[in-house]
Chains A and B, each alone.
Chain A
C-alpha cells in the first residue's frame, strides 16, 4: 500500500506522519499520534465523540480522510487547555456537573469550542445546533448546555478584559 506523508498543524505544532489514503483522521490521531482524548464511539459520524476542530470548524474525525488534513490546522481536546490552564469550557464542564462517564466530553467540548470561537453570545438554539451531533447518553444535555453558557459568559468577560487592556 502506498503511504503518503501527511503534514499538518496539530494543536499548534507542525506534525508529520505517514498515512495511507484510506486512513481516517481519528485513527491517525488516536493510534499513531497517541492522542486518546479524541474518542471513537461509532466510526460512522453518528455520535460526535471523535469531534475535532479542523480549520475552525467542528468535524467528525472518523469521517475525515486523513489526507484531507494536509496543510490544515487541527485542534483536539489536548490542545485547548490542561491542568496548567484550562479552557473556560473545560472549567465550566468540571464545575457544573456536565461530565458523567466522560466519554462524550472531549467531543462535546470541541463542538462547543468551535461555536464559541465564532460566537461568544450564542442563543440556546445555536448551542443545541452545535452539540446535536454529539450524543451524550448520561447527562440529558441539561448541564452541558449550562456549562456552555457559563463558559461563553466567562469568555465574554475575558474579551472585555482584553479589550480594556488593549485600550490602555
Chain B
C-alpha cells in the first residue's frame, strides 16, 4: 500500500531515497501510467519518488552536437521544442502523437521509454536517433542504448525501484541528415499506434551514408531493420531503392495478430509503406 510521496529536488536526493527504500520506493515522473498500474495491482510501491521537481531533469539542451532530454521533460515540451523540431524531427513528431495534449503535458519522453510498451512512440524515435539513456544508481551512472532498455513486452531493463534514468541523449542532426516518424492509427488522438516507424538518414551527395530504421510494435520493443539499413548503406537515393529497402525492412518485423490493432498479415503488408514514407520524408529533410 502506498504510504509516502516524495518530491526530491536533486538527483542525489532521489537516489538516496531509492537506496534507503530497499526496493519499496519507486520513481515516478509524469505518472500517467504508473498510478493506474498501481491501482490495478500491476505494479507496487510503498513510496513514490517524484522526479519532476529536479531542475536539471526538466531541460532540453544541446552541447557539442549532442542533445540531451532530461527525464522530467514532457512529451509536449519535446513536441514544441524548436531545437527538437529542427535537430531531431522524428522525436518531435513522435512526441506529438502520444495520447492527447493533456497526457503530453504530464507524461514524459523518458517515462515512455521506461514504461517499455512495445509501441511507445518516442522510444521508436529515440532508437532511430541512436539515443542512449543515462541511468543513475548509487553505484554511479551507466549509459545504455535505448534499444537495449527492453527486457520483454512491458518489461523495462531498468528497475525503477533501484535506478533512475536521468535522461536520454543523441546526436543532433547535421545538414546532410534528416529524421522522420510516421504512424498508422485508427484515430488521430487518444490511440495507440497499429504501427509506427522512425528513421534517420545520413546522406553523402546522392547516396545514403547510413540509415537507422526503427519499427514497432513488431517485437517486444522497437525493432531495428538492420537488413534494410545494410542494404541502403552506400546505395543511391532513388525511389526504387527506397521501395526495395522498405520491403526488406518488413522482413525483420514480427508483429502479432491483434484483435484490436490489426492482424499480423495486414501489418506486415502496410509496414513497407510506412517505412518508405518515413524514408522519403527524412531524405527530403536531409536535402533541404
Interface size on A, residues (CB 8 A): 29
CB under 8 Å from chain A, chain B span 35-50: 35-36, 38-39, 47-48, 50
**Alpha-carbon gap, A44 to B34, bound state (A):** 11
**Alpha-carbon gap, A34 to B103, bound state (A):** 25
- A51-B102 in contact (CB<8A): yes
Closest residue of B by beta carbon distance from A56: B105
- B101-A63 in contact (CB<8A): no
- B106-A2 in contact (CB<8A): no
Closest residue of A by beta carbon distance from B96: A129
Chain A min CB distance to B17 (Å): 13
**Chain A contact residues: over half helix, strand or loop, or mixed?**
loop
**Alpha-carbon gap, A64 to B106, bound state (A):** 8
Given A1-B1, A21-B4, A133-B189 in contact, is the A63-B48 Cβ separation under 8 Å? Answer: no
Closest residue of B by beta carbon distance from A132: B189
- Hey, which chain B residues are within 8 Å of A68, CB to CB? 31, 50, 52
B262 at the interface (CB under 8 A from A): no
**Chain B contact residues: over half helix, strand or loop, or mixed?**
mixed
**Alpha-carbon gap, A1 to B5, bound state (A):** 12
- B5-A4 in contact (CB<8A): yes
Given A21-B48, A59-B106 in contact, is the A1-B3 Cβ separation under 8 Å? Answer: yes
A130 at the interface (CB under 8 A from B): yes
- Hey, which chain B residues are within 8 Å of A60, CB to CB? 32, 100, 102-103, 106
A57 at the interface (CB under 8 A from B): yes
Most buried by A among B47, B105, B106, B189: B105
Closest residue of A by beta carbon distance from B104: A133
**Alpha-carbon gap, A59 to B275, bound state (A):** 33
Interface string of A1-32 (1 = CB under 8 A from B): 11010000000000000001110100000000
**Alpha-carbon gap, A135 to B189, bound state (A):** 10
Closest residue of A by beta carbon distance from B1: A1
A67 at the interface (CB under 8 A from B): yes
CB under 8 Å from chain A, chain B span 133-147: none
B188 at the interface (CB under 8 A from A): yes
- A133-B102 in contact (CB<8A): yes
**Alpha-carbon gap, A46 to B100, bound state (A):** 8
15 contacting pairs across A/B (C-beta < 8 A): A21-B47, A22-B1, A45-B102, A57-B105, A58-B101, A59-B106, A60-B106, A63-B36, A64-B31, A67-B50, A68-B31, A68-B52, A111-B102, A129-B101, A132-B101
**Chain B residues in the interface with A (C-beta under 8 A):** 1-5, 7, 28, 31-32, 35-36, 38-39, 47-48, 50, 52, 76, 99-103, 105-106, 188-190
**Chain A residues in the interface with B (C-beta under 8 A):** 1-2, 4, 20-22, 24, 44-46, 48, 51, 57-60, 63-65, 67-68, 70, 111, 129-130, 132-135
